[in-house]
Structure 1
Amino acid sequence: MAADGPGKKKHGVLFDVDGTLIDSSYFHAMAWWQAFRREGLDIEMSAIHRRVGMGGDKLIQSLVPDCTEDMQEELKAGHSAVFSTFWPSLRTFDSVRDLLAACSDAGLAVGLASSAQERDLEVSRHLLDAASSIDAWTSSNDAKESKPAPDILEACLEKLGLGPEDVVFVGDAVWDVKAGAAIGVPVIALTCGGISEAELRDAGAAEVYDNPRHLLEHLESSMIGKLMTGSLDA
């Protein structure tokens, strides 16, 4: 679903949501851990966390290669059920609304390139409380293949009416960086999702900041600042 539309905005910023704008990565890891345990699978929490940001289907396949289709559906349902119990505990990272507003006020189209389930995304959008700064958003319904495939980024670009050369993507996971690279979108990575700067840079992140507040503090000198002034190299 999209908002009223970005109008004639020529450049934009795509934002991942979980782990980037919302402090939810570890809740997702816990939800997957409990889902696996319900199916009699003892998967280490650290192994799960390193895969958060992948689509659920790929996360499961990576951890349980011989998983049947029926078990995969049970695991997804279990994760969804457990994660919903954490909704009241979710919070935005510091300065998220100010970051989104700064991008929008500078004339950039702002898209939430999320592959979350629609009901989880609605919770996140309510927490963000930044409707006036957001031009478009996506959910898992908008992508055929999940990250690290770039489908969700392409869907968000289509809603904004922009191309890969017109935007920067802000994410927190290696899978975000890989998704951006697949279609030539530079990625600004944040470590607040729990992945180290070294790993994010090794994956190809163009810039790395601690969290949304840190990015906001350096916005003018960042790639987003260059988009604002039209000086970002194609």
Structure 2
Amino acid sequence: MPRYEGVLLDVDGTLVDSNDAHAEAWIRALRGQGIEVSYEEVRSRIGKGGDKMFREVAGIDDDADPRAKAVDQDRARLFLEEFVPGLKGIEGARGLVERMKADGLKVVAASSAKRDELEKLLKIAGVEGMIEEATSSDDAEESKPDPHIVTAALEKAGLAPDRAVMIGDTPYDVEAAGRAGVAVIAVRSGGWDDEGLKGAIAVYDDVADLLANYDESPLGRRAYEG
């Protein structure tokens, strides 16, 4: 196993149980512009950024269609005002971050959320003030599964790809990190099974499961190969 120096940490679905809320906010915001989409169409794409969501479920070019800005603003308002107050952190989130930091690992948030959303989500997870750096959709030209958010997080943390590992909950985390040359530890708490998380070097039920098995995990076996 490589010796990791830092962890890139997804937030939605990994530290906070928020994926269903994101899906509902998208559906309601799209409906407000006369665009009807199914829950399944949207939920299966949570973890991708808004640019991908517009194109794939609504056929909207977010750079050219004025409805895109209206949907984005309404989705953000709905999520922050109606859903965020009821969200809960996933058990083990703070404990895992504490353990990683005690191990000397740099911990960086690498999220597709907008910056104002990310701040609130980190607070809900109980890890605000514990994350050394954070990247959001505001820091990347393209969202997951493009690798830009991951590469931005690496740059902020001063980490080489082979000295970092990402913890995420969606196939889009696995793909984005893989395209950036970063290994992924996946958790099932976002709603995907092992087949959907194929490509991860290890899969756990959630961050509490990873913490409980930390010593045997890729994080606990931090030693140079050879």
Q: So what's the TM-score if we normalise by structure 1? A: 0.89
Question: Unpaired segments of 5 or more residues in structure 1?
Answer: 1-8
Superposition pairs of residues 163-178 of structure 1, within 5 angstroms: 163-178=160-175
When the two structures are aligned, how many residues end up with a matched partner? 221
Match of 1:36 among 30, 36, 49: 30
Picking from 123, 130, 140, the partner of 1:126 is: 123
For structure 2, which runs of at least 5 residues remain unmatched after alignment? none
Q: Which residue of 2 aligns with 1:48?
A: 42
* 1:131 positional shift: 4.1
Q: Is 1:147 matched with 2:141?
A: no
SS of the residue 2:215 aligns to: coil
Within 5 A, what are the aligned runs for 1:1-234? 11-67=5-61, 69-84=65-80, 85-131=82-128, 133-201=130-198, 204-227=199-222, 230-231=223-224, 233=225
The list of structure 1 runs, each at least 4 consecutive aligned residues, that deviate by more than 3 angstroms after superposition, is none
Residues 104, 134 of structure 1: 8 Å contact kept: no
SS of 1:112's equivalent in the other structure is: strand
Deviations 1:133-169 (A, max 9, x none): 3211112221111111111111111111111010110
Structure 1 residues 48, 10: CA separation in 2 closer, same or farther (over 3 Å shift)? closer
Secondary structure in 1 matching 2:143: coil
Equivalent position amino acid for 1:79 in 2:
R
Tell which deviates more after alignment, 152-161 or 24-33: 152-161
Instruction: Quickly say closer, same or farther: Cα 1:10–1:41, change in 2 above 3 A.
Output: closer
Post-superposition offset of 1:197: 1.7
Instruction: Specify the code of the residue in structure 2 equivalent to 1:124.
Output: L
RMSD: 1.7
In the alignment, the residues of structure 2 paired with residue 122 and residue 66 of structure 1 have an alpha-carbon distance, to the nearest angstrom, of: 28
Residues of 1 paired with 2:102 and 2:115: CA distance?
27
Shift of 1:125: 2.1
| d(CA) in 2 for partners of 1:79, 1:132 | 27
User: Structure 1 CA distance, aligned partners of 2:53 and 2:201?
Assistant: 25
Task: Indicate if the aligned counterparts of 1:13 and 1:169 stay in contact, CA closer than 8 A.
Answer: yes
Q: Determine the C-alpha separation between the residues in 1 that align with 2:125 and 2:22.
A: 18
Give SS of 1:79's match.
Answer: helix
Post-superposition offset of 1:10? 6.8
Q: How high is the sequence identity, in percent, across the aligned residues? A: 37
